[in-house]
Amino acid sequence: MDRKRRRLCLLASLLVVLLIIILGVVLGLTLNRDRDPLKRTFLDRCGKFKEYDCQNVWSIFEQAYVNKDPCNVPPEAYHPLIAAAPIIPACNRMMFWSKTKDVVHDFTNKRDCFITMEDTLLGSVLDGLRWCGEEGSTETFTTDCPGWSDCVNNPVRSFWNSVSAAFAKAACGQVTTMLNGSIDTPYSPSSVFASIEVKNLNSTTVQKLNVVLVIQKNAVTNCTNASLENLKKDLGEIQYDCKEVPESQIQECASDPEKPCGSCW
């Protein structure tokens, strides 16, 4: 009887040890995931793009900013990342925007008419996120990172400047941009669209830029706005067209899958 009890006690002890080990592993994995939420989000979003090795793309992305001063990450640091996940040209379907993000993405999410930077792999995995590194550390941080205007070469600003330039360089045929008709300067020289994207449009591959000036009830500008005249000049040999389109018309077209894309404005 004593021998049987000893066996049962030994078995119970082994089960307890095994349970502790399992709980430790699960807890360790959970804590590790919680320590790296950016990586988890990055890989989850990347998984929608089946043609890429997402772990490899993440590793190349990390190399741009990890163990670096968060105010000394130039746009060139992301060139290897763009080479690993290049922007694929989509002639006549590439959409740019400035101060109209919600309107544009509401439209592109409902209709397969245009492709924005945020629809590409690199734009998708990092949209709305913030990150940085620190000298002497191999970690990725998502808090206490410099903001867009805190320093010129911060990791987030440099990333978007770099991929936006690549997106513009890949543009071909007729391209479209949605600009905000409710502000005094829809084509602002400080915007990414003006300072990066327009400058990287290639007149040998891009024939025309179609401006959709999104008009709301409080519209303060139209297609004769002085800043749009500057846009026309900046385009050089690229043709230019501008249409004032009510936001309600864009929303209506987005909700009507039977309506041809070309008739939305």
CA distance 133 to 170: 30
Residues 41 and 129 sit within 8 Å (Cβ to Cβ) = yes
Torsion-angle region of 89 (φ positive above 0: left; ψ -120 to 50: alpha; else: beta)? beta
Phi, psi torsion values for 202, nearest 5 degrees: -100, 120
Measure the CA–CA gap between 68 and 159, rounded to whole angstroms. 14
By the 8 A CB rule, do 227 and 84 touch? Answer: no
CA dihedral sign, ordered 209, 260, 167, 64: positive
As given in the structure block, the two tokens for residue 183 are: 């502000």
Tell me the residue ranges of DSSP E strands in the chain: 95-98, 173-180, 206-215, 239-246
CA distance 245 to 187: 16
Residues with catalytic roles: 91, 172
Q: Are 157 and 81 in contact (CB under 8 A)?
A: no
Neighbour tally for 147: CB within 10 Å = 10
For residue 31, give the H/E element and its range.
helix 2-35
| First-residue to last-residue Cα distance in the chain | 89
